[in-house]
Structure 1
């Protein structure tokens, strides 16, 4: 399956999606965003999959880290939410759970009670050098504190994997690698494990998927505002049976940093278009989501973040916003709420699809 099979740009369509039965997963910045999106719109979801991600509002762990709020969030992100100096410095799950409860009381996110019946998959590779395992362990505790029963959480920390989503593709990076494109071979498709845990017994993945991978205009969902740091196009895999009217669910798959379809390195503030990496579409086409989605009437939505490095938006690696770069105000960041520009855009896509 290749993206060229659907080279034209289409408008994202509407289908018979079962409301409240969709799910979301992501890697790295996509995992942090998964937690934010999951909490902001928990009424829309049945569960979440988190690969190497920390708890909600992790970047606000230590406001006194710097005099300027924006600097404090960046420092908390680096030294508490990714690589704490010692395990004890990992984020405080109880504090962040209280921030989530307060956000719900303030009407910034959905009622926490929706999480009670959800199923959550959480993974940290024991060789991950980008987001430390003690951080991810706090994500499990965070969900438990918000009412997700331990039996509904699948927590995996015994695989010697680096910072990556795992596949059975022989061409992918070695299991323990911590390098782009952050897709490592492990002998199984991690995306299949995520969807099976969230949605229960699923049919085996299709050997020859016959759905469509469509490219759609993302800008209608975020108004083409530069601070959104989102690409012009997004992608969605739509099984043929769903196009023909079968009831469906939606799974939102969020890539990590440097994994968007048009990612390029920035050199001196400018995109280095002469050295575009050859893996821009790999997260969309080779991570296994589409094959298991095809046989189970699941639409896979692939929103796309884009690197920007300017006075307005500092996100050169094309990460999803989990520390506040897209917020209109650093003093009162909204990146974690229903009013966040990226969360609004993704949820509008879900609504368009019918979920």
Structure 2
């Protein structure tokens, strides 16, 4: 079965995958996400595939606090325009009949949303730092889609603020220095060993020169309750897991840190891959030596009606993708999008004064 038919037949958008690993020790019981007094104005975000699309959405919606974004195998803001058909065709495998959405049109939509207050004023994107990656062997989200994202960001961000790496023979995957499958492979585990540290490269571009990473991560994983960050306190109703994970370096218990939000792709949530993404994506060693908390929110799969059924909340997202085509809400790409609101709430909690 070719990639396109596979994606269409599995609810439309299977954009990234995962790797089975031993579970994190504290997963059994989630706690309240602690306050650490972080510097909210130093927030950054990155993601792969559906997580890349959400990273762009969050960056544009909250450009007032986000100073930079890393995007691996994603596409321009509001690319799908509330259409799963456009998501799986125009925004993944464009062709003459299904071209990549016009960037001029998407910029016009962005400006209108800003005027209405649905997103922050995109003038705040001007000085941001953006790092883009597309593998030459990626057959899932093809390079013309990432090229369109480059054009979109060029509409707002100064030229010197953008790096676009597109010359590595990588498949559709999170690219690492040592972990995962062969670089050009597209398939499980979708974490590829390309002798290239994408997490380190994007963090260095966003924050400037970094202290070399720790040999091994020495911080702790905090498993926290995500329900409290939903307006109805029902994470599952919005295809979010009951719990997410944050990586806390030891230094952040005694000094003011900043936060990087790292977003997994479809089929790369914890239910599918256990702790593979938040242990092997490559962020944690850099976090230890650069005063950086890494926030790893989590999705969950949905197959239609919510449980209990009498809530009549219907979400079709069996691959646990982030909402970048409107399966949960027509406002998914704005500050009113439920998933975006939830992540902003997590950031606000981390920014509260430490007890």
Q: Secondary structure at the match of 1:50?
A: strand
Aligned length: 321
CA distance in 1, matches of 2:261, 2:193: 22
Aligned with residue 228 of structure 2, among 186, 198, 220: 220
CA distance in 2, matches of 1:39, 1:218: 23
The answer as to 2:140 corresponding to 1:138 is no
Larger displacement relative to structure 2 (111-120 or 87-96): 87-96
Aligned with residue 39 of structure 1, among 34, 55, 60: 60
Q: Secondary structure at the match of 1:313?
A: strand
The corresponding residue for 2:14 is none
Q: Secondary structure at the match of 2:175?
A: strand
The corresponding residue for 2:264 is 255
The corresponding residue for 1:318 is 320
Deviation per CA, 1:255-296, whole angstroms, max 9, x where unpaired?
A: 000000013xxxxxxxxxxxxxxx321111011101100100
CA distance in 2, matches of 1:87, 1:15: 50
Q: Cα RMSD over matched residues?
A: 1.7
Q: Secondary structure at the match of 2:294?
A: strand
Q: Secondary structure at the match of 1:310?
A: strand
Q: Secondary structure at the match of 1:42?
A: coil
Q: List aligned pairs for 1:189-338, cutoff 5 A.
A: 189-222=197-230, 223-243=233-253, 245-263=254-272, 279-311=273-305, 312-327=314-329, 333-338=330-335
Superposed displacement of residue 88, structure 1? 8.2
CA distance in 2, matches of 1:249, 1:169: 26
The corresponding residue for 1:270 is none
Per the alignment, do residues 294 and 165 of structure 1 end up closer, same or farther by CA in structure 2, a change over 3 Å counting?
same
The corresponding residue for 1:273 is none
Q: Assess if the C-alpha contact under 8 Å between 1:3 and 1:285 holds in 2.
A: no
Where does structure 1 differ by over 3 angstroms across 4 or more consecutive aligned residues?
1-8
Aligned with residue 174 of structure 1, among 178, 182, 197: 182
Aligned with residue 4 of structure 1, among 24, 29, 40: 24
Q: Assess if the C-alpha contact under 8 Å between 2:62 and 2:335 holds in 1.
A: yes
Per the alignment, do residues 225 and 186 of structure 1 end up closer, same or farther by CA in structure 2, a change over 3 Å counting?
closer
Superposed displacement of residue 123, structure 1? 0.7
Q: Assess if the C-alpha contact under 8 Å between 2:236 and 2:300 holds in 1.
A: no
CA distance in 2, matches of 1:228, 1:141: 31
* 5+ residue gaps, structure 1: 61-69, 264-278, 328-332
Larger displacement relative to structure 2 (105-114 or 220-229): 220-229
The corresponding residue for 1:268 is none
